[in-house]
Amino acid sequence: MSIGNLPEDGNSLEDDRPSIGRALQQARISAGLTVDEVSSSTRVRTPIVRGIEQDDFSRCGGDVYARGHIRVLARAVGLDPEALIAQFDAEHGGRPTPTAPAPLFEAERIRPEPRRPNWTAAMVAAIVAVVGFVGFTLFSGGGEEDGSTVADETSSPRPSASAPTNSAAPTKPAAPNKPDPSDSAIAGVPADKVTVKLTAEGGQSWISAQDHNGRLIEEGVLREGDSKTFSDSRRIDLVLGNAGAIKLFVNGKEVKNVGTNGAVQRLSYTKGDPEAG
């Protein structure tokens, strides 16, 4: 035997192998299967099966899908899929090296998350600010806007009767009666407002006063001897818990017969002459 007739390496043996498509086609025919039967059993579409048997892998959608189709077709016709896949890799540049996921994972893990605005805290702060503003307006600024005022007064003791004089002493002409200071102040109120003065003379009484907007000006117990004066640009609404104990002046004029002891009276007064509401 001539040594020169022997192959120098195993390349001639590999060249003698049928192509991948030819091997799959021969195995299918030997198994007695049609292309449609192989397509039905492997769920690989018929045009792709025919293309692979013609060594056309363009319909597979890429090398990764081509390897998967070769594997299932080889198992369906009784061939070793690993040998055909190795042949495919040798003919198409080899299997791609997988990318290590560790660097990508580390980069994603250390990436700071964007800080979201705290809308809850902002809403709570806004609500607190609105409530505070409304409360300040109601309890401190309401009387100035509507022209409603309230003044605390205490009844001043009236001058007592003069002591008896000596008959021998010269007689002086009697001094004219001076009006009560609080009554003079009431009589001099502006005509463009309604002014109400309450004095507890026959005992204490619970009182309530509201302006023309229904806003509360004063509420509480008026003790005997104390006075309260209220003013508003349009109307004053009163509630007297013990009307018989109250001496009432409206716009500088005394209102007679306000009520009896223990009776509750609801009264309303506007500018001009007093009229019981």
Residue carrying the six token digits 């109307």: 235
> Tokens for 140?
């401190």
Which pLDDT score is estimated for 242? 78
Side chain identity, residue 159: P
- Angle, alpha carbons 57-58-61 (nearest 5°): 100
Q: What are phi and psi of 269, to 5 degrees?
A: -135, 145
253-255 sheet: strands from edge to edge = 149-154, 226-232, 194-200, 246-250, 253-255
Which pLDDT score is estimated for 47? 94
For each of the domains in the chain, give its residue range(s) and CATH number, in order of start. Answer: 16-91 (1.10.260.40), 149-155+181-270 (2.60.40)
Name beta bridge partners: 125.
Answer: none
Q: Specify the 3-state DSSP secondary structure of 163.
A: coil
**Measured over all CA atoms, what is the biggest interatomic distance in the chain, rounded to whole angstroms?**
185
Side chain identity, residue 5: N
Task: Note if the pTM is more than 0.85.
Answer: no
Residue carrying the six token digits 């309890």: 139
Contact (CB, 8 A) for 156 and 181? yes
Rounded Cα–Cα distance for residues 223 and 154 (Å): 10
Residue carrying the six token digits 């009776």: 263
pLDDT along the chain (277 residues), means of 10: 43 68 92 92 93 91 91 92 91 66 49 69 86 76 51 51 47 56 53 87 88 90 90 88 85 84 86 64
Which pLDDT score is estimated for 175? 55
> Tokens for 221?
């117990």
Which pLDDT score is estimated for 37? 94
> Tokens for 204?
């204490």
